[in-house]
Amino acid sequence: MKLNQKPLLIFSDKCDGNIAFHVGDKIDNVIANHKALASKHNYNHTDLVHMKQIHSDIVHVITEEDDFNNPPTCDALITDKKHTPLMVMVADCSPIVFYDPNKNVIAVAHSGREGTFQNITKNVLESFVNKYNSKIDDIDVIVGPAIGVCCYEVGKEIADEAQGLGLSFAIEEKNGSYYLNIPAILKKQFEELGIKNYTISDKCTCCNTDKYYSYRGEGQTGRFSAVVELR
């Protein structure tokens, strides 16, 4: 599946440097990485909107007040504004990009365990439909690299929570330990919500710390990103 060629779509990696302000990196270094990424892909970094991500299901509709220096507190962004890049930052959580080529609307979402359990995708799609009159089966979705079931060990309490949410299919038990399959949950959610065109990366961030930041694999670490912009 390919997105319409109108939006700019980027998945950065370690080569682009850390782009998060909350992980102990020097602010000047983070800003320099943002500027370099923007220059590399020909967008204006001061127009970019990122988020103060809190592992919620909150979707923020972009307003005139939003810019690089005023990130909203949420875990998803949506807009039909041109020249307004949207960014989601991750280091094991799933970065999701949405695009409706008919209504020319884009969105990004940060879907870690909590956001996935809360089905943040459902809230994003409701924003597409209610705010922009999108049809769900017109929306294309891409999920970037994230931690895989191979590496995402969780405690029994999380396994029990998943089972209580009807997500037992996403729990694998190996040698007395539990492993959570977030991509499998996202796939099921997409299909149940009516998304027909979706791609989910099979790259595990924890298995590929040479290329991607991984909180589980590295502890204190940076963040890579997904960026989408209407042009």
Domains of the chain: 8-229 (3.60.140.10)
pLDDT band at 1 (very low <50, low <70, confident <90, very high): very low
Q: Are strands 197-200 and 76-79 parallel, antiparallel or unpaired?
A: unpaired
Taking a C-beta distance cutoff of 8 angstroms, is the pair 182, 147 a contact? yes
pLDDT tens digit sequence for 40-72: 999 999 999 999 999 999 999 999 999 999 999
Rounded to whole angstroms, the Cα distance separating 118 from 120 reads 6
pLDDT, tens only, 76-108 = 999 999 999 999 999 999 999 999 999 999 999
pLDDT average, residue stretch 23-32 = 95
Mean pLDDT for the chain?
95
For range 128-156, the mean pLDDT:
97
**179 and 150 Cβ atoms separated by less than 8 Å:** yes
Residue 195 structure tokens:
């998304």
Contact between 222 and 213 under an 8 Å Cβ cutoff? The reply is yes
Mean pLDDT along residues 205-227: 95
pLDDT exceeds 50 at position 2: no
**Assigned token pair, 161:** 């929570």
